[in-house]
Amino acid sequence: MFRFFENLVDPYVAYEERDEPPRRLVPFLREYARPFRGVFAVAIVVKVLTALTEVGLIWYMGRIVDFLSGDDPRAALAAHWLEIAAAAVFVLCLRPFVAGLDVALLHNTIVPNLRTLVSWRAHRHILRQPVGWFENDFAGRIANRVMQTPPATSDAVYQLLDAMTFAFTTFLGSVALLSTVDSRLVVPLVLWFLGYLLLLKVSVAKVAPAAQAASGARSAVTGRIVDSYANIHSVKLFAHDDREIAYAGEVIENARTALQREMRIITRMDIILTALNGALIVGLSGLSIWLWYSDAASVGIVAVATTMALRLNNMTYWIMWASTALVQALGTVAEGMETIAQPIGLVDRPAASDLQLNEGRIEIRGLSHHYGRGSGGLAAIDLTIEPGEKIGIVGRSGAGKSTLVKLLLRFYDAEAGSIRIDGQDIATVTQSSLRRHIGMVQQETSLLHRSVRDNILYGRPDATEAQMIEAARRAEAHDFIETLRDPAGRGGYDAQVGERGVKLSGGQRQRIALARVILKDAPILVLDEATSALDSEVEAAIQSTLYGVMEGKTVIAIAHRLSTIARMDRIVVLDDGRVAEEGTHAQLLAMNGLYARFWERQSGGFIGIDDEAEKAAE
């Protein structure tokens, strides 16, 4: 039975991905709820039947009171025993069936599947965002919004289908029931309902921004706490535990203040509601008693009116809390939309085709990019890298080396100029096909919180075990991998590396990253300080491996340790975002220019830090 309801909606159903999702709340919810439209309709009908059943039971209790209040109980039971038996069967059989259908649709079909659908689509949308988008926000805050929006969405839908539908049907059913007895009984009910709606309107108007502010404050807490945990080595290294506590304490206090403001509104609302419900109980019960006293109503009617007043009294607290929960959930969704409904900042062109790489020639023409600041980055770079050529890129920090690589990988769209690979503008090909043809090892290697095997196979998931191990051997990683053990007892290639590879040394992470790129075997290779984390002995062993890997590939190597690129076919020196010099190692030394000064001043093979001071003095 459960499986039937659980499978009524497929949360992974195919859908059209939008680069610009709806930015307003109702269209946003409608977009996600589209696969559930039929289920929602059935759930509403069933909820209406459930509410009418409850109203009908109150009416029937009044009827029982009337025929049992006669002079002869035996005669009453003899006349109505079949009717009472039918009512008992209804209560014991049909009512549980309707109620079971109601909760199964809500709890087994809608809530888990809607939550899954929102999580799935939100995560897919976020992963389509460019690298620069992630660099402008906290990973913790992004993750928090992706995680809190799905349950908030399902909570909002649940409250609408459960509480709101039930309450509205119950009220209409109560009006219909009382109006058939005496229309005067409807007056206190309608007056109370108008007051209740006014209270809801005022409260919701105040709770909505307060709930959104509280949700934003909670996200800020998550962002700061995750930031501390993600950088725990720096925290401990500088002995800044107290500083981090104070840093988080600031937003924790803001969250407390925001929640206090929200709770004040709810407390006032609860007090006013209690008074309003008291007026309903006194008004409806008192009027029915007066009608009975005037021989205008039976004892059963008094019982119905009083029971209805008490029923509505109890229900209104539930509805008020449900309304508050609904507003809070919608506030959380609205806050989450600030992240998961943002347009994709960098997309493939409509007619984008896959990159067809034949030789590996890279042509850079008039390339400029300043990250929207007007300075920094690159300024009108012209550079051609022939197929199979290996070039080194050097320059001071901020000279534009990393920007060049990010533009080559199309992590950003260039503000001016173009990059062509084998004559194809990379802006006109799909991002995935471009990056499939480029292998890269970064200076700060970050591994996935998975096994060593998973991390190496990330380069080529369809590789065999033997191919993976061979790549690890070539990266001088196999021997140390065999000695690894994690706290769960897993060893070797099955050992978990920890978040961002924290359980490994910098050199071990770098070698696993090298193995991953070796396994990928892409025709274009980018090395961004690929051996910076290695000791001299391991670096010497890997250098020969790297030169072997470079054979037949177009290579771009960024280095501060100039000895690592001295054997390159050509070295390009960047300064202030422009090509200052280029040539072989020997040619550049003979020029006695910027590269020669770097070579003279480097200590242990690195560009000297005095270069910045020298540049400022020039």
Task: Give 116-126 pLDDT, tens digit per residue.
Answer: 999 999 999 99
Do 17-340 and 438-521 agree at the fold level? no
Categorize the per-residue pLDDT at 617 as very low, low, confident or very high, splitting at 50, 70 and 90. Answer: very low
CATH code linked to domain 17-340: 1.20.1560.10
Asked whether the beta carbons of 311 and 58 are under 8 A apart, the reply is yes
Handedness of CA 599, 604, 605, 611 (dihedral sign): negative
Task: Give 90-137 pLDDT, tens digit per residue.
Answer: 888 888 999 899 999 999 999 999 999 999 999 999 999 988 888 888
Residue environment code for 419-451, b if the CB has 16+ CB neighbours within 10 A, otherwise e: bbbbebebbebbbebbbebbbbbbbebebeeeb
Task: Give 359-372 pLDDT, tens digit per residue.
Answer: 899 999 999 998 87
Residues 6+ apart with CB under 8 A from 476: 511, 538, 541, 542, 545
Task: Give 19-52 pLDDT, tens digit per residue.
Answer: 888 888 888 988 999 999 999 999 999 999 988 8
* CB count in 10 Å sphere of residue 303: 20
CATH class of 438-521: alpha beta
Q: How far apart are CA 455 and CA 457, in angstroms?
A: 6
DSSP-derived pairing of the beta strands 378-385 and 362-369: antiparallel
> Domain extents for the chain?
17-340, 438-521
Structure tokens at 244: 């981090």
Asked whether the beta carbons of 486 and 503 are under 8 A apart, the reply is yes
Task: Give 282-317 pLDDT, tens digit per residue.
Answer: 888 888 888 888 888 788 888 888 888 888 887 777
DSSP 538: H
Q: Is the pLDDT of residue 439 over 80?
A: yes
Residues constituting the chain = 618
Task: Give 594-608 pLDDT, tens digit per residue.
Answer: 988 888 876 444 454
Residues 6+ apart with CB under 8 A from 73: none
Q: How far apart are CA 17 and CA 104, in angstroms?
A: 30
Q: How far apart are CA 166 and CA 51, in angstroms?
A: 5
Q: Is the pLDDT of residue 339 over 60?
A: yes
DSSP 343: P
Q: How far apart are CA 486 and CA 502, in angstroms?
A: 12
Q: Which residue has the tokens 């506030």?
A: 331
Q: Check residue 453 and give its pLDDT.
A: 94
